[in-house]
Amino acid sequence: MLEEYFINQNEEWLGAMEIVEIEFPIPSIIKELEDLFLKLNIVPVIAGGVVSDSYLQASGLITENKSSDIDIFLDLKVNENRIRQELMANQEVSDLTEIQQEGIKANYSTEIIDKKASFRYKEHKCDLLFCINNRTKIWDFDLTFRQFMYLNGKLYATQLAVNDSQQEILRVVNPVNGLNTLQRIIEFQQRYGFSVEKRSLNLLLDYIAWRGTKKGLITKEFNNYVPQYFFTGNLRWYYFRWLSQKKAHGRGLFTYLLRTERYYNDYFTDLVGTYNIEYDSNLNYRRFVNKVKDIEFKIETEIEDKEAIINNSGDKVSSVAIDWQNCRRVKTILEALTQLEFEEFISGYLDDDKVRKIYKWHSPKLGKMIEGLEDFISQLDLEYYQNYTLKLCNQLLELFNTRGPSNLEFKLTISQQAEDLLSVSTDRNWTSCLELPEPDQQRISAARVAANLQPNTVVAYITDSNSDQWLGRVLIQLLQNGKLRLEKYYGEPMLKEILINELEEVIEQTGYQLNKLNVSRSCTFIEWEPYSDQGRVKKIDTDIYRKYYIDYSLPSFVRNKLNKIEVECEDNGKAGLFRPQRNLY
């Protein structure tokens, strides 16, 4: 059994991205702006060129403040109307713009992710931004030497900002602004005489090429001008997809963690790895039938929607008209396949009586039937599930071609690789709130994926022995008592038991423990709110960082009701209702 547990050490995990308090003279204009908002009981975060240049000047790196721009960050929930009224009444304020807001389409409404306006205060240009992470907004700045801020009478900066400023380096940590950041680098080089950190410049150029190619503004040949990729392979792809999400925040911290691999936790060293599994059964048959039922449900759902549209329109000639004969053929094939017997699956031939019930189909050969099914579904022109159902048809054919009554071999992989942590529900055969959408197809919860890059989380997934395709996965959370907690299983239902049983055995054999008590709490998450299917996410109030933890304990009123049930289960020698299936102690 391991003797030392991982303890929350924010400074160790954040590394040079830790926001530290520093001291240097600040211009009086900053205090004046702060007082303006304090009158409204609003605590602003003030940053921008005036603040960072004050540090450079105090450090002797420049002789005078070279900037006049000021950024003011407020919490998204403050009353913008009161702020506008106060600014309009101030004689020193001019050129106040209307407040513009940006949102993401949610299921039934639009979620506002930021609001902004600008004005002039005396000779200074001020940008006012209402955002969800105003106290850690400097983690979103594109260049490290600008990561300075003023809050509650104190000055703060990331340690990396201090280091790079002293070394007169321009380092890109958030390339999302693309060409604007490139233009700023050129301008700052001329203004300050700083040198550009070349690897981070390559990151910026690579992102510009990737984003421009996606929008059709840049040809793929532009990539040839990128000297060296900052990230490679799937990690590059997942990084850019996450970065491009409008609700993503802490992008500079995200880049830093990936580049330095600080999300690794040595506590998991004995646990991570790949383990072989042998299972004496034919799972292909059960997986085959389950996928058929999934196709059947998706097609029935969409056909019902189309019928409703046609009936409501009252128009016999409708844009969503259905090929009823082909639809009938698809439905009868799926009905026959859902009733498929194991012997039929192994032999590859459907019973003749079942074949006769299929509309306009005569061959009993299952392989030919599956190939035909794919073609027939493609002719239905489904609006929502076309690609999904065709993909399942390909998987049906693969399961059928690899069928056999012999032992099946799988691999269980327990990983804390960034590529795996960022793709737990991306490019998989399942979806969840942790799926990364394509660029410009925003999801409300996409930013939660970044929470997996904290040293609290590893992922366990199962694959075929000769394939890297994930068939199922479980997130494993580290608790404050050093024990482990399994989150919800996603993947093929028939593999859940295999994955969980093998995972519990590996955890026990490697000296770790699963938490079997009803009272447990995860280690702390910073900046990004985690997602949990098994516990309640709670927020911790702090001066600067936004912190969260997952509370896995049952509500007291539920726990009291279950006490008698658990006692009865224990008396009968059975596991309690909310305890792991296997006793690891």
Buried/exposed code over 463-475 (b: 16+ C-beta within 10 A; e: otherwise):
beeeeeebbbbbb
Structure tokens at 572: 């009968």
CB atoms within 10 A of CB 367: 14
- DSSP annotation of 479 reads B
Alpha helices (runs of H) in 244-357, residue ranges in sequence order:
251-260, 283-313, 324-338, 342-347, 352-356
**Residue 138 parent element (H or E):** none
- Ordered DSSP codes for 160-225: HHHHHHHTTEE-BS--TTTHHHHHHHHHHHHHH-PEEPHHHHHHHHHHHHHHHHHTTSS-GGGGGG
Q: How many CB atoms lie within 10 A of CB 530?
A: 23
Is pTM beyond 0.85? Reply is: no
Tens digit of pLDDT per residue, the chain (585 long)? 333 444 445 557 899 999 999 998 889 999 999 999 999 999 999 999 999 999 999 999 999 988 999 999 999 989 888 999 999 999 999 999 998 888 777 555 677 778 899 999 999 999 999 998 899 999 999 999 999 999 999 999 999 999 999 999 999 999 999 999 999 999 999 999 999 999 999 999 999 988 877 666 665 566 666 667 788 899 999 999 999 888 889 999 999 999 999 889 989 999 999 999 877 566 788 889 999 999 999 999 888 887 777 777 655 545 456 788 889 999 999 999 999 988 888 888 999 999 999 988 889 999 999 999 999 999 988 888 888 999 999 999 988 888 765 557 899 999 999 999 999 999 898 888 898 887 766 666 667 899 999 899 999 999 988 889 999 999 999 998 899 999 999 998 878 888 998 999 999 999 999 987 667 899 999 999 999 988 899 999 888 999 999 999 866 655 565 555 544 333 333 222 222 222 222
- Residues of 31-54 as b/e, b for ≥16 C-beta within 10 angstroms? eebbebbeeeebebbbbbbbbbbb
Residue 215: the pLDDT is 64
Centroid of chain to Cα 374: 32
Please give the Cα distance from 178 to 140 (Å, whole number). 13
In this prediction, residue 578 carries a pLDDT of: 27
Helix axes 366-378, 386-401, angle to 10 degrees: 170
The Cα–Cα gap between 399 and 294 comes to 15
**Domains of the chain, earliest start first:** 4-249 (3.30.460.10), 282-403 (1.20.120), 416-563 (no CATH)
Cβ-defined contacts of 554-557 (< 8 Å, 24+): 554/518, 554/578
**Cβ-count burial of 286 within 10 angstroms (0-12 exposed, 13-18 middle, 19+ buried)?**
middle
Q: How far apart, in Å, are the Cα atoms of 82 and each of 70, 117, 361, 381? A: 21, 14, 71, 52
Q: What is the CA radius of gyration of the chain?
A: 29
Contact yes or no for 167/558 (Cβ under 8 A): no
State which amino acid sits at residue 13.
Answer: W
- Helix/strand/coil for 563: helix
| Phi, psi at 548, each rounded to 5° | -140, 160
Biggest alpha carbon–alpha carbon distance for the chain: 92
CA distance 16 to 57: 22
Q: Which two tokens stand for residue 474?
A: 């479980």
Residue 226 pLDDT:
63
Query: Three-class SS of residue 412?
Result: strand
The predicted structure's pLDDT at residue 585: 22
Q: Which residues pair with 93 in a beta bridge?
A: 121
Bridge-based pairing state of the strands 484-486 and 273-279 = unpaired
Name the token pair of 56. 């450079």
Indicate the residue type of 277: I
Query: What pLDDT is recorded for position 229?
Result: 78
Position 7 scores a pLDDT of 47
Element at 19 (helix H, strand E):
strand 19-22
